Amino acid sequence: MKTTKAYSAASATAALASATIQRREPTERDVQIEILFCGVCHSDLHTVRNEWSSIMATTYPCVPGHEIVGRVTQVGNKVSRYKTGDLVGVGCLVDSDHSCPSCQANVEQFCPGAVFTYNSPDKHGTAPVTYGGYSESIVVDEGMVLRVPLNLDLAGVAPLLCAGITTWSPMRRWGDIKGKKVGVVGLGGLGHMGVKFAHAFGAKVVVFTTSPGKKEDALRLGADEVIISTNAEEMKQHAGSFSFILDTIAAEHDINAYIGMLGLDGNITLVGAPETPLPVSAFALLSGRKSLSGSLIGGIKETQEMLDFCGAHNITSDVEVIPIQKINEAYERLLKSEVKYRFSIDMASLKD
């Protein structure tokens, strides 16, 4: 065991504060990583404040962070993919059982034995639960480590490990969207990545937003058009014309209004997670053979494919880099949507 600096929350009402945690020595299959940047995800805030207690109660102390970019400092003697000095990433998963049908199908996020990067039972017994990326270092199973393209800004790469793969996965699974009309609902941390990917895939990209002030930024990010969703006339003009819509909204909203935007065999996929169930009109789906689905991050193989694509097309997340000492302020700003579009923590600040 070794100690490392971190920022953790002692309870649902406590601010994140400097702490010392334990990390295991690398096993034969492990990679030890010095963390350089860690993105801030809204899931971090939900978990720290135990807002998902009915689904996954938080165990304290809680060290969040699952958008990790760093440099390999040590590898186990059976590690073959990585060596000391490599630039790598770690997303929402740090282990799985490697043998179940989900793992065999490269969708480890659905493995019954999946170990998430933080607040997940630690099978190594280092601590009651796993500790995430708001820390100096992390030790991860080789199979969950990702290679980072060398040409990309590392601060902007970090959010790709969650926001990036969360939007990439459903678009790729839906099929070739080149030339098709694709909608992105919401222009936040997830939505801005959805726009960038859809544009790179060659789709006609339309952003739905309630904020007229976001129009200019949506066009800058790659949107071809912006619809103000509170404008009934604008919505009516586009009814029944979309092949695919990515819904990134995590708050309660009228899902049926967007189902009505779909054409024949169109699909709307939820990647936002509203706490309150959304009423869905059966007739809205039946008319046009439309479908509603959900998607959760992505497997390791497709996450690496996403990173490689980003390297080839120079795609990163738009970030505001902060020191770890400003994380509590960042959480409050996150609640007010006062960031364009993700925070990325410079973990060198943890040494201060």
SS3 for 26-90 is CCCCEEEEEEEEEEECHHHHHHHCCCCCCCCCCCCCECCCCCEEEEEEEECCCCCCCCCCCEEEE
Residue 348's contacts (CB-CB under 8 Å, 6 or more residues apart) are 36
Residues 6+ apart with CB under 8 A from 118: 47, 62, 63, 64, 65, 66, 129, 130, 131, 132, 133
Q: Do 235 and 229 meet the contact criterion of CB atoms below 8 Å apart?
A: yes
Statement: residue 273 has pLDDT above 90? no
C-alpha separations of 148 from 106, 160, 198, 308 in Å: 19, 10, 21, 8
**What does the pLDDT read at residue 246?**
98
For residue 69, the model assigns a pLDDT of: 98
Please give the domain boundaries of the chain with CATH numbers for all domains.
2-162+298-351 (3.90.180.10), 163-294 (3.40.50.720)
Q: By the 8 A CB rule, do 194 and 184 touch?
A: yes
Query: What is the three-class DSSP state of 201?
Result: coil
Reference 74, options 34, 37, 125, 133; nearest CA is 34
Q: What is the pLDDT of residues 192-233, one digit of tens each?
A: 999 999 999 999 999 999 999 999 999 999 999 999 999 999
Q: What is the spatial distance between Cα 338 and Cα 352, in angstroms, rounded to a whole number?
A: 26
Tell me what the mean pLDDT of segment 57-79 comes to. 97
pLDDT tens sequence across 139-149: 999 999 999 99
Predicted confidence at residue 77, as pLDDT, reads: 95
| pLDDT greater than 90 at residue 55 | no
Tell me the pLDDT band of 93, cut-offs 50, 70 and 90.
Answer: very high
Q: So what's the pLDDT on residue 320? A: 98
Region 66-87 average pLDDT: 97
The model's pLDDT over 290-316, given as tens digits with 9 standing for 90+, comes to 999 999 999 999 999 999 999 999 999
Q: What share of the chain is helix, strand, coil (3-state, %, to 5)?
A: 30, 30, 40
